[in-house]
């Protein structure tokens, strides 16, 4: 008997998932997509399997704006294990070195201070970055090490939250593209004892905080009780990642031409920059950019029913 193909639902919005430990970001995405029975979904930047915390998932029309979450600042809490270095920079790797730990609070603070602000960071071999189309982590597993260019990142916060023996809990706020494993390894190297990430939790991604994130257990229970439609109440609006952008309301007449790809004039258009746009009914219809002549040009449009 032929297998009946599952008919997916059109689902639009953002779900802020609290990713569980020991699960890849893609596995979490596929599980949640299955629970929602959604046509289209994507995540906004991978978390390591070891990591937990904020993983925004975009559904349907929200996937058009996922790049702006990829580019957003992030926040983390991490436990730095001093005295032990590993192949991957975290607890999942093999131990490569053990050293005695003789670090004072003053010494640690002096080292942390050198990592605050704009720094150059070399991405780790165990990462999803690609070289000639091949992810670096695959090369690393094959025993290969290739040169990686240092990248500029910004560490806006790096503070000690707790210190228990050889384990230091740190709060980190950073720009996109920052690798916490590399940060911890570099700190350990400067301290002279080595270090790796024992725990990692993302607490912030753009405007989304871990306190408002939904666990997989909550989603599964809701699905058991009410099916896929019962999960829709957990979704945030399509433009929730852009709520800090200026908002412009277009008239019914102007919205028609703008939605057909034409730059338009409108009252109160800002002088420059990217704009979040809604129609006269308050419905989000896309994002635009102010052109040199002062008109609002469409950049990404939301599909209407």
DSSP track, 64-116:
GGHHHHHTS-EEEEEEEEETEEESSSBTTSPEEEE------HHHHHHHHHHHS
102 Cβ contact list (under 8 Å, min separation 6): 193
Whose tokens are 């997509």? That residue is 33
SS3 45: coil
- Cβ distance 196 to 172 under 8 Å? no
Q: State both tokens at 148.
A: 């990686």
- Cβ distance 206 to 243 under 8 Å? no
- Cβ distance 11 to 235 under 8 Å? yes
Q: State both tokens at 191.
A: 């301290």
Distance CA 287, CA 272 (A): 13
* From 48, 90, 239, 279, the catalytic residue: 48
Whether 48 sits among the annotated catalytic residues: the reply is yes
**Positions marked active-site:** 48
């Amino acid at each position: 008997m032929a297998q009946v193909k599952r008919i997916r639902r059109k689902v639009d919005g953002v779900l802020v998932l609290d990713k569980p430990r020991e699960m890849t970001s893609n596995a979490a995405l596929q599980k949640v997509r299955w629970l929602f029975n959604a046509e289209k979904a994507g995540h906004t930047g991978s978390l390591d399997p070891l990591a937990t915390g904020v993983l925004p998932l975009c559904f349907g029309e929200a996937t058009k704006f996922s790049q702006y979450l990829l580019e957003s600042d992030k926040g983390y809490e991490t436990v730095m294990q001093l005295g032990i270095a590993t192949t991957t920079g975290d607890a999942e790797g093999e131990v490569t070195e053990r050293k005695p730990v003789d670090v004072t609070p003053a010494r640690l603070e002096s080292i942390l201070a050198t990592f605050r602000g704009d720094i150059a960071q070399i991405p780790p071999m165990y990462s999803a970055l690609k070289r000639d189309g091949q992810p670096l982590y695959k090369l690393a597993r094959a025993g290969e090490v290739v040169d990686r260019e240092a990248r500029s990142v910004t560490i806006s916060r790096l503070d000690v939250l707790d210190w228990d023996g050889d384990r230091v809990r740190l709060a980190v706020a950073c720009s996109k593209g920052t690798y916490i494993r590399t940060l911890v390894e570099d700190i350990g190297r400067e301290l002279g004892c080595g270090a790796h990430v024992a725990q990692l939790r993302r607490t912030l991604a753009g405007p989304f905080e871990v306190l408002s994130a939904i666990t997989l257990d909550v989603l599964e229970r809701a699905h058991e009780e009410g099916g896929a439609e019962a999960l829709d109440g957990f979704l945030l609006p399509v433009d929730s990642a852009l709520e800090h952008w200026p908002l412009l309301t277009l008239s019914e007449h102007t919205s028609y031409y703008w939605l057909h790809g034409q730059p338009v004039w409108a009252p109160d258009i800002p002088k420059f920059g990217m704009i979040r746009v809604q129609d006269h009914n308050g419905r989000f219809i896309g994002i635009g950019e102010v052109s040199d002549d002062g008109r609002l040009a469409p950049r990404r449009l939301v599909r209407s029913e």
